[in-house]
């Protein structure tokens, strides 16, 4: 059973203190698991550098940074695992007590994705797999 998608909070972002930085995002799997004892994996994307704007975020015990790139993709960078609602759909764990500490951890390939979690092929349905493949097949049709 799928758990409901995490809803971003309505926190106000974008301040005078926002920083621009190049961050090394680790690869992320869209599908990862085993089917009939055979490993099945599909990358959502490979490791890549993203030029983004970073805004500090703190609400209760949840602290970190919200990055937004030129495609308006928002990623929450956190120094510790969290299940709290945050102003982003994607959560990247990168231990460190400062932005520079987090950047160094990402450069050392020590970051890992907390959200979205990869789909387990053993519990996946044909309908869900077809729905995930729509963007890829549309790109094939237009030759992108």
**DSSP sequence for 82-103:** --S--S-SEEEE---SSHHHHH
The model's pLDDT over 46-60, given as tens digits with 9 standing for 90+, comes to 999 999 999 999 999
Both tokens of 33, joined, read 């698991």
| Within-domain flag for 6 | no
Q: What is the pLDDT along the chain (144 residues), one digit of tens a residue?
A: 455 555 444 444 555 567 899 999 999 999 999 988 999 998 999 999 999 999 999 999 999 999 999 988 999 999 999 889 999 999 999 998 888 999 999 999 999 999 999 999 888 888 988 887 887 777 777 765
| Within-domain flag for 7 | no
Q: What domain range is 93 assigned to?
A: 19-142
| Within-domain flag for 105 | yes
| Predicted model pTM | 0.76
**DSSP sequence for 23-46:** EEEPPEEEEEEEETTEEEEEEEE-
* pLDDT of amino acid 10: 42
Q: Is the peptide bond before 112 cis (omega within 30 degrees of 0)?
A: no
| CA distance linking residue 128 with residue 123, whole number of Å | 10
Count: domains in the chain? 1
* pLDDT of amino acid 34: 92
* pLDDT of amino acid 2: 52
* pLDDT of amino acid 14: 52
* pLDDT of amino acid 9: 45
Residues 6 or more apart in contact with residue 43 via CB below 8 angstroms? 27, 28, 29, 30
| Within-domain flag for 59 | yes
* pLDDT of amino acid 94: 93
């Amino acid at each position: 059973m799928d758990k409901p998608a995490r809803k971003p909070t309505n926190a106000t972002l974008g301040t005078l203190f926002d920083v621009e930085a190049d961050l090394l995002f680790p690869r992320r799997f869209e599908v990862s698991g085993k089917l009939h004892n055979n490993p099945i994996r599909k990358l959502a994307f490979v490791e890549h550098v993203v030029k983004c704007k970073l805004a500090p975020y703190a609400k209760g015990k949840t602290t970190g940074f919200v990055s937004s790139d030129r495609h308006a993709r928002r990623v929450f960078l956190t120094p510790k695992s969290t299940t709290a609602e945050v102003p982003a759909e994607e959560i990247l764990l990168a231990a460190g007590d400062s932005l520079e500490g987090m950047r160094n951890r990402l450069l050392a390939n020590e970051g890992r994705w907390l959200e979205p979690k990869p789909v387990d092929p053993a519990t996946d349905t044909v309908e869900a797999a077809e729905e995930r493949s729509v963007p890829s097949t549309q790109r094939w049709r237009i030759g992108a």
